Structure 1
Amino acid sequence: MTDQLGGEGPARPIGPNPRGPYDEKDAPDDNVRRLDLRSIRIPVPAWGEFLVDMAPDDSIVRLVHWQTPLGRFTVTAYAAPSSNGLWEQVIPELMDGLRQDCRTVRREPGSWGDEVAATMGDRALRFVGIDGPGWMLRGAMLAPPATVQHSASALRDLLRGTVVARGADELPDRTLLPMQLPPEMAARIPGVPKDEAGLRSFGVL
């Protein structure tokens, strides 16, 4: 089955080019609609709600999520050695941390190397890491077990279409690359209330 993003009914691919994710210098001209968050440009799913976790003073974007019918997806990028290989270092640490709260934690082969799959309560978790030139892209999924295969495929497609803009700043390895909302979204922040988890919802973009 082709990795796709979608909701009910036939899944919808995010773009025709399966070779991503992309470094900024190799970004394709593929007409895929992407949300520009400065360090990452994420494809906009056909269905979903965009959630933002801001610092208490609203000065910094800490995390962004897509809430879709297939689950919640989170994409982040980190500074990494130019020689790559950071994801393989992160996997054991990630698994150790997950074992504190998860019933099962395991490695599984994936599109870019091993992935980490876990079960926490009644939800399935999956983490996918991809090493790039001076960066590591990480995707996380929280989904119902009944949709886990489709949700994992959707996560891979989301990552496959993402563009990473590492920038020239000197940053320690494993530093989260800074994210910034587009001006039109940042201007709306004061008027968008937080939910119980402290997230602001921008609805379907």
Structure 2
Amino acid sequence: MGLFGRRRRDDDVEEHFEDVEDYADYEDDGYEVVGGDLFDGAGPWDEEDAPEDGLNRLDLGSVRVPVPDGAQLQVEMDQSGSVKAVHVITPVGQLTVTAYAAPKSGGLWHEVSTELAEELRGQGATVRTTTGEWGLELLAALGEAHLRFVGVDGPRWMLRGVVAGPPDRLENSTAALYELVRGTIVVRGALPMPVRTPLPIELPPAIAQHIQLGQES
């Protein structure tokens, strides 16, 4: 089985997270990551240019993400109870994509990546830059955690993707990150927002209800 499966649309660093809820389990047996050209063209896509590719994506409001078959979702909440991030947990690592408001001129990822590298080094990580599918990437190692960051400048948005995984699965974790980013659709919206502001994440009703029931039990 590949990392992502085509389905028809339905009509209808080692980190510690606080206030985290899990949703859906994956089965490790038979899991296999593949690279290649699953997605036509080179995403991520702006909402206006989103392809009609028949891929089932998880709608999180500001991003629509193609979740790998059999993956686990982990919702990270902030202290106010708002959704801070949704992580995709797979046997090859934890994958996360986050969209931010960006200037029309672009170039935000280069600026942000420089600051991110300095922050990681301040935490004791070994950081180096490399060139990947979308240009500049960061590779970081902190203890047993190995991370890869990619960034894509879009029309008034920037998408950052990161994978944190074990060192013995670096090739597969990179392939998983690339495929996730390639298939992501960004919904910027028309409202003006300060540059660097994370675009809001909205959980599908089924996941929001699952979390609410877990908090009440």
Give the structure-1-normalised TM-score. 0.86
Find the counterpart in structure 2 of residue 39 from structure 1.
62
What aligned pairs does 1:44-63 form with structure 2 within 5 A after superposition?
Answer: 44-58=67-81, 60-63=82-85
Match of 1:30 among 49, 53, 72: 53
What is the percent sequence identity of the aligned residues?
47
- Deviation per CA, 1:126-155, whole angstroms, max 9, x where unpaired? 110000000000001110000012101110
Local SS of the residue matching 2:122: coil
User: Would you say the 8 A contact 1:47–1:69 is kept in 2?
Assistant: no
Structure 2: state its 5+ residue gaps: 5-27
Q: Which consecutive residues of structure 1, in runs of 5 or more, have no partner in the other structure?
A: 194-205
- Report the equivalent of 1:198: none
Q: CA separation in 1, counterparts of 2:46 and 2:125?
A: 36
Shift of 1:11: 2.7
Give 1:9 shift: 5.2
Q: Which deviations, in whole Å up to 9, do the C-alpha atoms of 1:109-129 show, x marking residues without a partner?
A: 110111000101011011100
Q: Which amino acid aligns with 1:142?
A: A
Q: Would you say the 8 A contact 1:67–1:73 is kept in 2?
A: yes
TM, length-normalised to structure 2: 0.82
Distance in 2, matches of 1:143 and 1:80, equals 28
Q: Which segments of structure 1 move beyond 6 Å, counting only runs of 4 or more?
A: none
In 2, Cα distance between the equivalents of 1:111 and 1:150?
15
The separation in 2 between residues aligned to 1:16 and 1:107, in whole angstroms, is 26
- For residue 73 of structure 1, give the secondary structure of its aligned residue in structure 2: strand
- Match among 183, 189, 193 for residue 171 of structure 1: 193
Residue matched to 1:130: 152
- Give per-residue Cα distances to partners, 1:150-173, cap 9 Å, x unaligned: 101110110000000000111000
Q: Which amino acid aligns with 1:26?
A: D
Counterpart for residue 163 of structure 2? 141
Aligned to 2:13: none
What is the total number of aligned residue pairs between the two structures? 190
Question: 1:21 maps to which residue?
Answer: 44
